[in-house]
Amino acid sequence: MPLPLRVVRVFVIALAVSRCASAQATSSRDCQLLAAPPPLATLGGPATAGRGQTEVGIGAGAFGYLFGSVCAIDALAESNWFARWRRGISDGTDLGFDAQISSQGNGTLTGVAKIAARQQVTRGLRLEEGVGAADSGSGRSVNGEVAATIGTWKHPENTWNYYASLRLAGSHGCFNLLCAGGEGAPGTRAPGAIIPVGEIGATARVSETARFVMEGGLGGFFTREQPNSGGYVHIAFGVQFLVGRTWKSGQGANTP
């Protein structure tokens, strides 16, 4: 694993220590890992790809679940690699997908993908909806989310812009790829969960068509299939590209 991702993972685990240190001595029940949610990174401000534009993003980071005191798993941190593609279908709406590969500490890989649509309500507010599926060593799952993103809308040549978002995601574990009926062996269906997350981030102008992005998120997870709920945290870094028209031109909706 690259050194920067190792550093991020250590930071995520450190955040869990204060919550879980007192639980180590009393932890007696093992908890199964959650069904994978959709990719939760906002990775950019409240713009959409305008008509005739394509937005492409790549990123990496880490996220962690902070389990409660009755779990043998008190904290779990994973590194992840992220990719995004959006195509503007009107001046205020785009459609595309996000894909993510996550690596757990034991070497297990989880692949997650979602189809998402984004609508720009005003120049500083964007809404988003998405549905997806995941496959991992712990089983398969389906997921969905809704989100709202707000942010500064300065002149596109300014170096820095800032954003914040609220996301509500849900996941449901399955015994098979299409979540058809049926039963499986114990432990082959990961527990589903509801995950609300608040995120803040910043974009830095690299060129007329590229932005560097950094963000952090903090939230929790709630599930009826685990002994208790817990916390969620993530850190992400990436680069966002616009193909078609440039941000500098001021055309279309995608002007940070």
- In tens, the pLDDT along 70-99 reads 676 666 777 889 999 999 999 899 999 999
**Number of helices and strands (H, E) in the chain?**
1, 10
CA–CA dist 220, 22 (Å, integer): 19
Q: Please report whether residue 155 resides in a domain.
A: yes
pLDDT score for 58: 97
pLDDT in tens, 239-252: 999 988 655 544 44
Q: What's the pLDDT tens digit per position in 122-133?
A: 989 999 999 999
Phi and psi at 11, nearest 5°, equal: -65, -45
CATH code, domain with 51: 2.40.160.20
Helix (H) or strand (E) holding 4: helix 3-20
**Spatial distance between the Cα atoms of 76 and 72, rounded to a whole number of angstroms:** 11
Confidence of residue 30 (pLDDT cuts 50, 70, 90): low
Q: Which domain holds residue 219?
A: 3-243
Question: How many structural domains compose the chain?
Answer: 1
Residue 42 lies in a domain: yes
Give the model confidence (pLDDT) of 164-188 as tens digits.
999 999 999 887 666 766 555 545 6
